[in-house]
Amino acid sequence: MKQKRLGRQTVVFDAPPRIVAGATIVGDMEGAGPLGGYFDLILEDDTWGEDTWEKAERKMFEQAVRRALERCAMQPAEIDLLLGGDLLNQIITANFAARELAIPFLGLYGACSTMAESLLLGSMLIDGGYAGHVACAATSHFSTAERQYRFPLEMGGQTTPTAQRTVTGAGSSLLVEAGYAGGAQFRHIFVTGGTIGRVVDLGITDANNMGAAMAPAAADTLAAHLREQSRAVSDYDMIVTGDLGSFGSEMFNELCRDKGIDLSDRHRDCGNMIFDPAQKVDCGGSGCGCSAVTLNAFLLRRMEEGDFTRMLFMATGALMSPTAGMQGDSIPGIAHAVVIERR
C-alpha cells in the first residue's frame, strides 16, 4: 500500500508537482533588509490602511495568494485547494482570508513551520490525484504577534540577546500537477519529496530562546530525511531552515554533528537571511512569514535562474503557547522538510 513512502517519515512523489509561482508582501523593516529587492510589495504602513493589524495581516495573506495566481493568469475559482496558516489564535488570518478567496480550504497550524507543511501536504494531495492546483500560504505580522505572545508595542523594555523579531510578511506558492501547461513564473521548479517532522522537545522553557527550542526538531527531521532517503548532506546544494536564527543555527549545527551529520557550509537559515545584523534584531527573524517570504521571493527565484539545483527547505516551528508557558510547560518544536529541485 505505502509505495510512495520511504521509512517512517519520508514521502516521495511519482509525478513531482511543480511550483509555478510565488508572491510576497512584507513590512518596511523586511523591505529594508538584504532581500528587500526581491519582494513583490513592501508596505510603508503596517496597517495597510486597515483599522487593525489583524485586518492588515489577513489582507496580506489574501493579496499574496491573488498575486501568485495572477502570475499564472489564474482565478481563485480554478484552484482546487487552499492550504495555509498563521500564528494567531484560531488562525484567524488564514480563515478570514479564505472567506474572501472562497477556495476550498484546509487551515493549518504548524507555527513557523507552516510554509513547509503546506507545500508538503499540497504536493502529497496533487501526487495522490486529489487536487490539480493548490495554493499554499503563510503569514506572520510583527505587531499582531507581539500583542498576542508578548507585550504591548508601546511598552518600553529591552529584548534578550536570544530573542528574534517576528517577520511581517505573507508568502504564497502555487503548486500544480506535473502535466500543467499554463502560464508560469517558474518553469523548472519541482517538489520531489519531503519528510514529515515529529514534535521534539528537549525542555527549553525560555520563550525568548525559540531558536534553541526548535533546533532539536530540525536536527531530528534532517537526520530522518537523510537516513530514509539514503542521501548525504552533499546531495543538496543547500539545507535551508526556517527561523532558527543565529543562536538556534549554532545549536542545530552542533546537534547535527552529534548525529554524525556534517553540514559544512551548506546550511542557511531564513531568519539570518532576511535581516541585516545592523537592524538590531538580536538573533534574527522568526514567524511563519520569515521562511514563506524568503522561499518565495528569493530562494525559488535563485533556483529558477540556475544558481542551485536541489535544496531541502525545512521550516521550523516553535509550538509555543502562552498558556502552557505560564503553567510551566516547555516549548515543543517541529520541522517539516520539502525537497525542491530544479529540472
Partner 1 sequence: MGGKRQKTAQEQRYQQRVNEKMPRSKTVSQCARAFIAGGLICCIGQAVRVFGETTLHLDAEGVAALTAIVMVFLGATLTGLGVYDKIGTWAGAGSIVPITGFANSIVSPAMEFKREGLILGTAAKMFTIAGPVLVYGIGASVIVGLIACLLAK
C-alpha cell at 288: 511563519
From residue 10 to residue 49, what is the string marking binding to partner 1 with x (rule CB under 8 A)? ----------------------------------------
Does position 147 interact with partner 1 (CB under 8 A)? The reply is yes
* Region binding partner 1 by CB under 8 A among candidate stretches 35-43, 176-184, 247-255, 267-275: 247-255
Closer residue to partner 1 in complex, CB, 21/200: 200
> Whole-number minimum distance, CB 146 to partner 1, in Å?
9
Q: What are the two backbone dihedrals, phi and then psi, of residue 173, each rounded to the nearest 5 degrees?
A: -125, 145
Dihedral (Cα; 259, 262, 265, 266), 10-degree rounding? -70
Residue 272's SS3 state is helix
Does position 162 interact with partner 1 (CB under 8 A)? The reply is yes
d(CA 325, CA 308): 41
Do residues 116 and 317 touch, judged by C-beta distance below 8 A?
no
d(CA 241, CA 272): 10
- Compute how many residues bind partner 1; rule: CB under 8 A: 31
> Whole-number minimum distance, CB 205 to partner 1, in Å?
7
Does position 152 interact with partner 1 (CB under 8 A)? The reply is yes
Nearest CA to 115 out of 171, 168, 38, 189 is that of: 171
> Whole-number minimum distance, CB 95 to partner 1, in Å?
18
> Whole-number minimum distance, CB 333 to partner 1, in Å?
12
> Whole-number minimum distance, CB 152 to partner 1, in Å?
4
Quickly list DSSP for 202-269.
-----TT-HHHHHHHHHHHHHHHHHHHHT--GGG-SEEEESS-HHHHHHHHHHHHHHTT---TT-EEE
> Whole-number minimum distance, CB 166 to partner 1, in Å?
15
Interface positions, 193-212, toward partner 1 (CB under 8 A): 202-205, 209, 212
> Whole-number minimum distance, CB 314 to partner 1, in Å?
19
Closer residue to partner 1 in complex, CB, 13/53: 53
> Whole-number minimum distance, CB 203 to partner 1, in Å?
4
Interface positions, 213-232, toward partner 1 (CB under 8 A): 216
d(CA 331, CA 322): 10
Nearest CA to 65 out of 125, 136, 141 is that of: 136
Does position 283 interact with partner 1 (CB under 8 A)? The reply is yes
d(CA 79, CA 10): 26
Q: How far is CA 239 from CA 37, 139, 227, in A?
A: 23, 22, 15
Q: Which of 3, 158, 234, 323 binds partner 1 (CB under 8 A)?
A: 158
Q: What are the two backbone dihedrals, phi and then psi, of residue 168, each rounded to the nearest 5 degrees?
A: -90, 105
Does position 254 interact with partner 1 (CB under 8 A)? The reply is yes
> Whole-number minimum distance, CB 85 to partner 1, in Å?
23
Does position 51 interact with partner 1 (CB under 8 A)? The reply is yes
d(CA 115, CA 288): 7
Closer residue to partner 1 in complex, CB, 205/264: 205
From residue 52 to residue 91, what is the string marking binding to partner 1 with x (rule CB under 8 A)? x---------------------------------------
Do residues 333 and 215 touch, judged by C-beta distance below 8 A?
yes
Do residues 98 and 58 touch, judged by C-beta distance below 8 A?
no
Contacting residues toward partner 1, per CB under 8 A: 51-52, 147, 151-158, 160-162, 202-205, 209, 212, 216, 247, 250-251, 254-255, 283, 327-330
